[in-house]
Structure 1
Amino acid sequence: MSTAVAIQPFMPRPTPVPIAAARPRKQKPSPGKENLVSIKPISSTVGPVANIRTRRERPCDACRRRKSRCVIHEGAVLCVLCEFHKQECTFVQSPLPRKRKVVDQGKKDSPINQKKRSVDAEPPPLALPTPTITATAPSPPPPQSSLANPQLAQLGETLGLQRGQHSRYIGLSSPFDSLLIGLSHFDRHNESTFDLGTLRRVNDHECFIMLPDENTQDYSGEADTLHVVEQLVHPHGSTLLDLYFRVVHPNFPIIQKHLFVERYRNGDRTFSPALMAGMYILALNWWSYDAKLANYPKPDAAQLEAIAMKSLSVSMERPKLSTIQAGLLLLQRPEADSWSLTTQLVAIGQELGLHLDCSSWSVPLWERGLRKRIAWALYMQDKWSSLIHGRPSHIFGANWAVKSITDDDFLEQGDGYETMQEETDDEREEDEKGRILFAQMIGLTAIMAEVMDTFYTQVAIQDFANAGNKSTELILARAKPVQIKLRNWHERLPKSVKMDAPAHNKLSSTGYLHLAYFATEITLHRRIVQSLDSATHDPYGFFMCRNAAKTRLISAMDFVNRLKPEHLQAFWYFASKINFTLIGTFGSLLWATAPANEEAEFYKTRLREYRWTLSVSSKRAEFLDYAVLMLDASRAMLKNLAEKPSLAQQISTAGVPPRPPPQQRSMGPPQLYRQNSDDIEMQDDDEEQGHGEGLRRNVSSGSFRGFADADEYERYGSGPGTADGSVTSDR
C-alpha cells in the first residue's frame, strides 16, 4: 500500500509575480489587456522545486475527486486549486470509475431565452449537463450543492469576491504600520500569513487583511438561504435573470455580467443570497413585460425582500463586493428609502477600499473595472440620498481617489472563461447606450454634489446668515460657476442619451438622467428664491431671479408632460420619485412667495396640471403615486397662506420702477445682469433660447418702464408667444 507524500517547498519563494490566470490562454494577449500589474519585487535567490507528474496531464488526487481540471503552472509546486485551498497536492490514488451522465432531453429551451446571452435556469449539481428549464416546468428546484469548477479558481485571485474569506482595508493610521508590513515575507500571491489572518498587498502602498468567513455569524446557513431564495422564484429564476440583464443591467452596470452568467450556467451555487434576491426583486417590476411570465402567478416579492434584508445584514459581517452590489440593488426598489442602509454601504465600501484608486493593484483587470463601477454607483447613492433626505453626505473629495470611469472599465474579458457568446447588434447598442448613460449620471452627480456643498452645508448656511441683506448677492456670486458647469454638461450630452433619441420600440431609461438634471437646477434656484425678500431687494433683481426660477419650473413640468410609455416603463434611478416631487415642491415655493395674487394663481394652475400629469403617468410608473401624495401634502400646507394683494394694488401709476444704474443696484454683482450667456436666466440649451432672448430684449432695452396692467405683466412673465408660460422645447 502506497503512502501519500506531498512535495513541499523547502526554499523561500522566488520574487513575487503577478497572479497567474486560472486558465492559460493560447493566444498572445493584446497590449493593455493584461489582467494584472506587478508590484515591487522582494529579493530572493532560490526557486522552488517543480512538482513532477507521473503521467502526462494526470490530475492530482484532490482534483480527481472534484472532477476538476488540474493545472500546475511552470515552476510551481502545487496545482492551482490545491494551492488555493492550502492543501497537499498528491498523485497516489487510482482513477475513479467513470459514471454515465444522465441527460434529460425532455426539456426545451424557454421561449423568453432565445437570445444567445440568456441565462439558463436552475442548473443541476456537479457534473451533470445544464438543461434549460422553461417557465412552465413543474419540477421542484434541485438540491443545492457546491461545485468545484476549474474556471472558478479565478475568484481566488480576486480581492473582493473570494470564497471562504473576506478582505478589510488597512489604513495608514491603523496599528498595522506600513513599514512593518513591508518587512513581512510575501509569497507569489502577494500574501503573508500570520496569527491574526493573511496580509494581502495590492501595491506598494495599500494592504488588506484577509479573514476567514467561517468565523462570522450564520456563515453555515448561507447556502440554505440561497436555496430558499431560488425556491421562491422557481421555475422562473432564469427568466427573471434574463429580464434583469435586459432591462436593469445596461443602465446600472454594477454586475460583472459574463462572469455571473457563466458561473450560473456551470452550476455554481455560492452566490450571495442578498444579491440574488435583489436581482430577482428588481426584475419582478417587469414581470408583465414578458408575455410568458404574465400568465403565471407572480412570486412573493415581500418575502424575497425580507430574506434579502436579513441576509444583507448578516453578510456585512464578512463584507465583499457582492455585499455592496446587493445593497445598491435593494436601494433601487421604487419603495426603498433607507438613509441608514446607504450610510452602512458607504462604511462597508471604505472597508473594502472602494474609495481608493485601484488602477495599479495586483488584482485581475476585470475586477479593477468592476470595483470602479461599484465605487461610482456608491458615490451616486450617497450624494443623491444626501439631496433627497437633506442630510450630510458621507463621501468627501479629500478622501475620494477613484479615477474617472472609462470604456475599459466595462470590459468582460479575463474572468477565467475563455468563450464569450456573441452579442446581437441590438444588445451591443443597448450596452453602449447604458454605459454612456451611467457615465453621464456620474458627471451630473458631481455637479449636483457641488451644489449641495456650496449652498446646503452648515458652513454655507451660516455664511448666508452672516451676510444679512447681502445674502442673495453672495448666493448669486457662488451660483454662477456652478451654473456654467451645469449648462456645459447639458450642451455636451451625447445624442444617444438625449430625450429625442429614437427608442426603436425598446424601453429607454434616459428619463432618469434628464429628471436628475432638472432636480439639480431646481435645487440651485430653490436656494436663490428662498433668499429673496421683496421688501429689501430692488424690484429689478427680484423680478429677474423669480423669472429665471419660473422658466426652470415650466421646463421641468414640460419635460414630465412629454414622457412616453417607453420612458415611464423603463428602469428609473432610486432618486427619481423624489426628483419628481421636487418639481412640485419648487412650484409650491414659488406659489407661496409670489408677491401678487395673479402670479400665485398662475402657479396654482400649473401645479394642478402637473398633478394630473403625474396621476395619468402613474398608471405606467406606480412610483409616481408618491409624488402625487407629496403634492397633495404641499397643497394642504398652502391652505394657511395669507391672501395676496392683486397686481393692480401693487403697481403705481408709474408702473414697475425702471432698471436702476449699476452703481445704484443693491443686489447682486453687475456681471449677473449683463446681456450675455451667463445671465441669471441660465439658458443652457438651444431649444430654450427663444424664451430667454425675448426676456433679455425686453428687460435690457431702454424702453422698459413697467407694465400698464396685470394682463401685460402676465404676458411678459410668461415669455413671448405663450400666454400660459409653457416652453415648447423638444429637449
Structure 2
Amino acid sequence: MESGDERPYRSHTKPACLPCRRRKSRCKIEPHTEACLMCRAHGTDCTFPNGRAKATSHKRHSTETAPRVPHPALRTPMAGPSNGLLAVSPHFSNSQSQNLDTPLSLEADDDNPHILGPAVTGDNHVLADYLSNISGGQGIREIRPVEPGSSSSPVIFTKVQKRPLGLTVNSSPAMKNLETIEKLIEPWGPHLIELYLKKVNPCLPLLDETSFRAQYMNTKHRISPALLANLYAQSLTYWRHDPILSRERCPDSRFVWNLAIEASYSELHASAGISTIKSLLLDVGGRPTTSMTGNGVRLSSALSLCHSLGLNRNPLPWDIPQAEKHLRMKVWWSVLIHDRWSSLTYGTPPHIRRSQYDVPLPIPEYLSDWEYNRAANSVFIELMNLTDVLDHCLEHVYNIRIESQNPTRNLELDLNKWVDSLTGEIRKIIIRGSNLDIPGASNLRLAYLATRLLLRRIDLDRERQAQDPNPEAMANRTMEARRTAEDIVVLVQELGEAQLGDFWLPVAAFTFSSTVTFLIRCALETEQGAGLTESGSLRMASDFLDSLRSHQRNSEWDLADICLAQHSEVVERLLNSSPPVINSETNAEQHFFHDMAFVDDMFPSIWDTLQSI
C-alpha cells in the first residue's frame, strides 16, 4: 500500500507531473518539497497538468556515466513493479533511452540491481503479467528482455540491499582512509587524477574521462571514497616520471596502498557496487605487485560483483543510455584483461570462461574518448584482441581432462591470424618492435612476445612428451623458444625513459622472471658441454638482468624488482660454477656445484621473494 505522500503514476486523484508522464516514470512527491524526485534527479521543471504545482529544480552536474545523462548515483531509484523485478529490453532506440529513466541503477544509494539468470526470467514474466492484470496496469512497468526466437538468453534484474542489516549509512571507514591519503598527497590530489587520466585510462579505459573530470571538480563528494583512494595510489607509480611531481617528495606508496586496500575492503563489506569493482581493479592493476594471493582474492571479488550486476552480458540491445552500455563493457574488459594475464603469470586457471559471457570485443564506437585518445585506444583494442587469443592458450594449459577425440586447436594459427589482421602503426609495434612511443605500445609488444613464448614452450613440451621424440625437432623447438626469449631481452634493453614511465600491466614483472627461468633451463639442458661459463643462454640471462638492474637504479622501475630478487644470485653463481670434470673411468662429464643448497636456491619461492622486496 502506498503512503500518503506518494503520487502514483496515472492516478486520477493525484496525477503525475508532465515530465514524468513523458518519461513514463513514477512521480513521487516527498513532504515539504515542491518538485518530485524524478524532476529533481533530472533537473527538469516539475509542472502538473492543472497548473496547481510548479517548481524549478536545480540542475545537477553530469557524472562519470555520461556527460549528458545523470549518473545513477545521482538518480533516485525508480520504483519497479510490485514484485520488485525489472527486466531489460532491446526495443528502445538510443535517443529514446537517453530521455527515459534507466531500469538499471548501477549506483543507487541503498539498492543494487542483482541479475537473475535466464532460468527464472519466464516465471517472473508470468507473475508480472498477473500482477498487471489485477491492478489494472497501475504502477507496473514491465519491459520484455528479448523477442521470441532471439538467440540471446533473457535476463532480469531485482533490487537487493547494498548494506548489511544494521549498518548505518554514516559508517564510512573508507572515507577516513581517503582523508588520510589526501592529507599525505596534498596539494597534488587533482594533479594525480590528471596523471591517471593521461597515463593509464587511455591504455586501459575504466573511467569516462570527460565526465569523471567534471564530477571530480564539481561533485567530488559523490565519488566512491575507495575509488578515489585507489586512483591516488595507482597514480603514485608515475610520480617520478612527471616533470612537476618529480621535483617534489613522493609519499610512501606502500602506506598509501595499504590505506586504499582497506578502503576497498570496507566498501566491499558496507555498500558494494560498480565503484567497488573499479577500486578492486585499480588495486589489482596497481604497482608494485607484492601479493599474488591478495590480488587473486580481490579479482575474484570483483568478478563476483560483475556477475551479480550482469556485466558479463552484452548490454548493446538493452534500453539503457548509450554511455551506461559503454561503462558496463569497459569494466568487463578490464576484468578480462587482469584475469587472463594474471592467470598466465601467476600459474593459476582463469576465473572467467568464454562460454559464460557475451560482451563484444571493443571497437572505436564503444570508446567515448576515441577522438582524442585514438592512438592509445587503438593499442587497447588490440590488447583485448590478443587477450582473446591468449584465452585459447590458457584453455590448453589448464585443461586437466584432455579428450582424445577432439582435434587440438591450432594455437599458433590463432596468434598468426591476429598478427596478420594488424595494420598501420600497431603492426609496426608487433612486427618490428618500433613505434614504442605510442602510449601502451611497449606493454602490448611484451604481451605479444609473452604469448609467443608460451606457445613455443607448449610446442617444446609436446615434443618432449612424444612417444618417439625427434632430437632434431627438439633442438629446433628449443632454438625457436630461445629466440623469442631473446626478443624479450632486446625489448627491455632498448627501453628509454619514456617507455619506462609508460603504462604497463603489473604482471609484466613475472614475464621477465619466467623469461630468465627459461634461459637458465636452456643452459642447463642443452649448453653444459663446454661449461656453463660459455653458455649463450646464461650470458643472455645475465645481460637481461644487467638491463633490469640499470632501469631499477636509474628510473626506480619497480617491474624489475621481482626478477632481480629471484635470479640475480642464481645466474651469477651459475656463471662462476666450475667446468665439467671428466670421469677417467666412465669417460663421462660430472658437474660440480659448491654445495647442494645451491640446487634448492636455483628457483626460489616466489612467495619468499615477494616478502623481501
Q: Closer, same or farther in 2 for the Cα pair 1:161/1:192, shift >3 Å? A: farther
Bigger proportion of residues as helix: 2
8 Å CA contact 2:6, 2:28 repeated in 1: no
Cα 1:170–1:296 change in 2 (3 A) is same
User: Shift of residue 285 of structure 1?
Assistant: 1.7
Residue 566 (1) aligns with residue 519 (2): no
Are the counterparts in 1 of residues 239 and 246 from structure 2 also a CA contact under 8 Å?
Answer: yes
The one-letter amino acid of 2:392's match is E
1:686-697 → structure 2 map (5 Å cutoff): none
The DSSP-based 3-state class of the residue aligned with 2:159 is: strand
| Per-residue Cα deviation, 1:650-688 (whole angstroms, up to 9, x for no partner) | xxxxxxxxxxxxxxxxxxxxxxxxxxxxxxxxxxxxxxx
**Aligned equivalents of 1:442 and 1:376: distance in 2?**
7
Structure 1 residue 610 corresponds to structure 2 residue 544: yes
Measured in 1, the distance between the counterparts of 2:254 and 2:308 equals 30
Is the deviation greater in 359-368 or in 309-318?
Answer: 309-318
Task: Return the letter of the residue paired with 1:352.
Answer: L
- State the secondary structure of the residue aligned to 1:395: coil
1:335 Cα offset (Å):
2.2
- Secondary structure in structure 2 of the residue aligned to 1:269: helix
Structure-2 residue corresponding to 1:527: 458
Tell me whether 1:392 sits opposite 2:349 in the alignment: yes
Shift of 1:311: 2.2
How far did 1:486 drift? 1.3
Cα shift at 1:192 = 11
Counterparts of residues 292-307 of structure 1 (less than 5 Å)? 292-307=244-259
Q: 1:360 Cα deviation (Å)?
A: 1.2
Q: Which amino acid aligns with 2:443?
A: Y
The 3 A distance-change label for structure 1 pair 164 and 210 is: same
Partner of 1:695: none
Q: Which of 205, 211, 225 is the equivalent residue of 2:160?
A: 211
Q: 1:9 to 1:515 in 2, by over 3 A?
A: closer
In 2, the alpha carbon distance for the partners of 1:445 and 1:345 equals: 19
Amino acid at match of 1:442: M
Name which of structure 1's ranges 278-287 and 618-627 shifts more when overlaid on structure 2: 618-627
SS in 1 for 2:515: helix
Query: Partner residue of 1:162?
Result: 108
| Residues 582 and 263 (structure 1), Cα distance of their counterparts in 2 relative to 1, 3 Å cut | same
Q: Which residue of 2 aligns with 1:250?
A: 202
Please say if residues 379 and 395 of structure 1, whose CA atoms lie closer than 8 Å, have aligned partners that are also in contact. Answer: yes
Moved more, 602-611 or 530-539: 530-539
Alignment-derived partner of residue 626 in structure 1: 562
Q: Which moved more, 1:239-248 or 1:160-169?
A: 160-169
Contact persistence 2:375–2:439 (CA under 8 A): no
Give yes or no for contact 2:435–2:441 (8 Å, CA) kept in 1.
no
Q: Percent identity?
A: 18
| 8 A contact 2:234–2:287 mirrored in 1 | no
Q: Give the letter aligned to residue 367 of structure 1.
A: E
Alpha carbons of structure 1 residues 502 and 554: separation in structure 2 relative to 1, 3 Å: closer
SS in 2 for 1:264: helix
Aligned to 2:484, the other structure's residue is in SS state helix
- Matched with 1:705 is none
Deviations 1:386-440 (A, max 9, x none): 111111111112112111212121126xxxxxxxxxxxxxx955x1112111111
1:348 corresponds to 2:305:
yes
Letter in 2 for 1:400: Y
Task: Name the amino acid aligned to 1:164.
Answer: D
How many angstroms apart in 2 are the aligned matches of 1:50 and 1:250?
Answer: 40
Name the residue aligned to 1:81: none
2:509 paired residue number: 577
For the structure 1 residues 632 and 303, does the alpha-carbon distance in structure 2 shift closer, same or farther, using more than 3 Å as the test? closer
Residue by residue over 1:266-289, the C-alpha shift from the partner in whole angstroms, topping out at 9 and shown as x without a partner, is 234121111101111121122233
SS of structure 2 residue aligned to 1:388: helix
Structure 2: distance between partners of 1:70 and 1:382 = 40
Distance 1:560 1:185, change over 3 A: farther
Output aligned runs, 1:691-710, within 5 Å.
none
Deviation of 1:599 after TM superposition, in Å, equals: 8.9
Q: Residues 507 and 234 (structure 1 numbering): CA distance in 2 closer, same or farther, change over 3 Å? A: farther
Q: Distance in 1 between matches of 2:138 and 2:388?
A: 39
Q: Which residue of 1 aligns with 2:287?
A: 334
**Which of 344, 359, 362 is matched with 2:316 structurally?**
359
1:598 to 1:359, Cα distance in 2 relative to 1, 3 A = farther
Q: CA offset at residue 622 of structure 1?
A: 2.4
Indicate how the Cα distance of structure 1 residues 636 and 50 shifts in structure 2: closer, same or farther if over 3 A, else same: closer
Distance 2:142 2:260 in 1: 31
Q: Give 1:380's match in structure 2, choosing from 314, 337, 355.
A: 337
Q: 1:274 to 1:594 in 2, by over 3 A?
A: same
How far apart, CA to CA, are the structure 2 residues paired with 1:76 and 1:501? 66
In structure 2, the CA distance between the partners of 1:526 and 1:496, relative to structure 1 (3 Å rule), is same
CA drift at 1:176:
9.1
What are the Cα deviations for residues 121-168 of structure 1, in whole angstroms up to 9, with x where unaligned? xxxxx9999xxxxxxxxxxxxxxxxxxx99557852453233332221
1:556 aligns with 2:488: yes
Equivalent-residue separation in structure 2 for 1:319 and 1:306 (angstroms):
19
- Name the SS of the counterpart of 1:362 in structure 2: coil
Query: CA, structure 1 residues 597+357, in 2 after alignment: closer, same or farther (shift >3 Å)?
Result: same
1:482 to 2:411 alignment? yes
Q: How has the CA–CA distance of structure 1 residues 542 and 361 changed in structure 2, closer, same or farther, with 3 Å as cutoff?
A: same
Which amino acid in structure 1 is aligned with residue 171 of structure 2? G
Aligned with 1:159: secondary structure?
coil
Give unpaired runs (5+ residues) of structure 2.
13-18, 62-67, 76-101, 148-153, 583-613
Change (3 A) 1:90 1:298: farther
Structure 2 vs 1, CA of residues 72 and 586 (structure 1 numbering), >3 Å: closer, same or farther? Answer: same
> What SS does structure 2 have at the residue aligned with 1:316?
helix
| Preserved CA contact (<8 Å) 2:43 2:60 | no
Of the candidates 435, 438, 463, which is equivalent to residue 377 of structure 2?
A: 435
Residue 540 of structure 1: CA displacement?
A: 2.3
CA contact (8 A) 1:48 1:75 kept: no
Q: Does 1:220 align with 2:161?
A: no
* SS at 1:358 equivalent: coil
> What's the counterpart of residue 459 of structure 1?
401
1:369 shift after superposition: 0.8
Comparing 316-325 with 366-375, greater Cα deviation is found at 316-325
1:375–1:8 CA distance, 2 compared to 1 (3 A): closer
Given the alignment of the two structures, is residue 273 of structure 1 paired with residue 225 of structure 2, yes or no? Answer: yes
- Between the aligned partners of 2:11 and 2:207, the Cα distance in structure 1 is 41
Alpha-carbon deviation of 1:180? 4.1
Shift of 1:378: 0.5
Alignment deviations for residues 80-125 of structure 1 (CA, whole Å, 9 cap, x no partner): xxxxxxxxx9669xx99xxxxxxxxxxxxxxxxxxxxxxxxxxxxx
Distance in 2 separating the partners of 1:240 and 1:645: 59
Quick check: which has more Rg, 1 or 2?
A: 1
What CA distance in whole angstroms lies between the structure 1 residues aligned with 2:6 and 2:563?
67
Q: 1:536 to 1:599 in 2, by over 3 A?
A: farther
2:470 counterpart letter in structure 1? D
In the aligned structure 1, how far is the partner of 2:541 from the partner of 2:424? Answer: 31
Q: TM-score, normalised by structure 2?
A: 0.71
Quickly say closer, same or farther: Cα 1:181–1:617, change in 2 above 3 A.
Answer: farther
Instruction: Give the corresponding residue for 1:445.
Output: 387
Residue 525 of structure 2 aligns with which residue? 593
> Cα deviation per residue 1:568-589 (whole Å; 9 max; x = unaligned)?
1111112111112221122122
- Looking at structure 2, the residues matched to 521 and 628 of structure 1 have their Cα atoms a distance apart, in angstroms, of 23
1:60–1:91: 8 Å Cα contact kept in structure 2?
no
Look up the equivalent residue of 2:312 and give its one-letter code.
Answer: H
Query: Matches of 2:207 and 2:562 in 1, distance apart?
Result: 29
Number of paired residues?
Answer: 511
Q: Judging changes above 3 Å, is the alpha-carbon distance between structure 1 residues 512 and 72 closer, same or farther for their aligned structure 2 residues? A: same
